[in-house]
Chains A and B, each alone.
Chain A
């Protein structure tokens, strides 16, 4: 934890607030560039840099995840890249997972921040791996929908904004998608992340959904997923106002800036920086849990 006493002669609470705003702003930028909520970066930062209890960090992060994904989902509706039916179908699983995760956190794990930390570390590690090896697949046009997807009409059409080609796709492996969505939801409610890093590859690589549609639809779903967990934390009283308030505004501002400037930045090159940050976060959390972090 950073010591704020006498930092440049600024009173400690003010210096801390300024640093909080900067860190959250950065998490918002990274999250939006990667198409995730930013919670993966924010929760370790709040715990490691500010010494915030992991439960309160998770609650504040979830609230900010709702803000950023609500903002970007609203603009992606305009693009026409959201598959609303698919999103609403998978939301039933992610929302339930989010609720269960939050309830476990505030009951069984209420006095066990160490357990939460040890769950968070491998999730950060797995996310770093997915981020490093992740690639975007094209949807296979010839693949037929499975029975459930056909009955619910989950497939769709999507016009690529670059090539202007219309891509038609059918949705497959609906059952597996539902299962993975519920696990992503559980991770969200428990750890304060959006879970987009798991939902995007699940939809893109397994369910035959084009990458842009998977990313936009995942964004829409995260709003409901994070809200189902965050509402539990809010009414239990784990949402710290002077932590969550500045975090929400700064993360949101960061994501807004990132979306405006996205075309000018090379996300591919930045990706390895982000992977490095995640690895650093995981290692620091581990050392801190062992009592060896300054």
Chain B
């Protein structure tokens, strides 16, 4: 025996990805909300902001609360995507064509969600 295969270790890796993503996202949202309240912003009826990565980068440096919240939500929503990408990679390495195709398709759908969101 040569220890567990990648396929067998996948649940542990997947759980690790989910925990890390969720932890980072929660922290960013918390910091962002605290900054926003301190800066006197924040009504739940403020209009939604269209996502722009360049603005977020500048906002983070300026300690702009909403930028942190936006980054946190983005990290959260990309966490399942990273989990799927990881599974796809594992099935490719293990040469499991059926599941490489299935996880590849799920990954493609998530990328399509991002692309359509930007395009619409």
Given contacts A73-B18, A106-B120, A234-B73, contact A88 B87 (CB under 8 A): yes
B74 to chain A, nearest CB (A): 7
Specify which chain B residues have a CB less than 8 angstroms from the CB of A95 in the assembled complex.
106, 109-110
Indicate if A89 sits at the interface (CB-CB under 8 A): yes
Q: Are A241 and B66 in contact (CB under 8 A)?
A: yes
Could you tell me if A249 and B26 are in contact, using CB atoms closer than 8 angstroms? yes
- Hey, which bits of chain A sit against chain B, CB under 8 A? 13, 16-17, 20, 50, 52, 56, 59, 63, 66-67, 70-71, 73-74, 77-78, 80, 82, 84-85, 88-89, 91-92, 95-96, 98-99, 102-103, 106-107, 151-152, 223-224, 227-246, 248-249, 252
- In the bound complex, what is the Cα–Cα distance between A63 and B79 (angstroms)? 12
- Secondary structure call for the B interface: helix
**What 1/0 flags go to B15-59 for Cβ under 8 Å of A?**
100110110011001101100100001111111111100000000
Given A237-B49, A239-B73, A246-B44; A224-B120 close (CB under 8 Å): no
> Are B44 and A91 within 8 A (Cβ)?
no
Q: Is there an interface contact between B79 and A239, defined as CB atoms closer than 8 Å? A: no
Is the Cβ of B50 less than 8 Å from the Cβ of A237? yes
Contact of A99 among B29, B47, B109 (CB under 8 A): B109
B11 within 8 A of partner (CB)? yes
Residues A78 and B109 in contact in the complex (CB < 8 Å), given A227-B80, A240-B47, A241-B73: no
Query: Are B76 and A70 closer than 8 Å at their CB atoms?
Result: yes
- Identify the interface centre among A85, A151, A235: most chain B CB within 10 Å of its CB: A235
Closest to A103 in B: B116
Q: Could you tell me if B102 and A231 are in contact, using CB atoms closer than 8 angstroms? A: no
- Whether B116 and A224, one on each chain, are in contact in the complex, defined by CB atoms closer than 8 angstroms, is no
Question: B43 contacts A13, CB within 8 Å?
Answer: yes
Establish whether residues A74 and B77, one from each chain, have CB atoms under 8 Å apart when the complex forms.
Answer: no
Asked if A238 contacts B18 (CB within 8 A), the reply is no
Given the complex of chains A and B, what is the CA–CA distance between A118 and B97 in angstroms? 43
| Given contact pairs A67-B25, A231-B117, A248-B29, A224 touches B51 in the complex (Cβ within 8 A) | no
25 CB < 8 A contacts A-B = A56-B48, A63-B76, A63-B77, A66-B76, A70-B76, A73-B15, A77-B14, A77-B18, A85-B99, A88-B102, A95-B106, A224-B106, A227-B77, A231-B110, A232-B120, A234-B73, A240-B46, A242-B33, A242-B42, A243-B45, A245-B32, A245-B69, A248-B73, A248-B76, A249-B33
* Chain B residue at minimal CB-CB distance from A252: B26
Contacts A99-B112, A231-B113, A243-B44 known; 8 new A-B pairs at CB < 8 A:
A17-B42, A59-B48, A67-B26, A71-B22, A74-B19, A77-B12, A92-B105, A237-B49
Chain B residues lying within 8 Å of A84, measured Cβ to Cβ, are 10-11, 14, 87
Say yes or no: A234 contacts B117, CB within 8 Å.
Answer: yes
Chain A, residue nearest B65 (CB)? A241
Chain B neighbourhood of A63, CB < 8 A: 73, 76-77
| Residues of the B chain whose Cβ atoms lie less than 8 Å from the Cβ of A224 | 80-81, 83-84, 106, 110
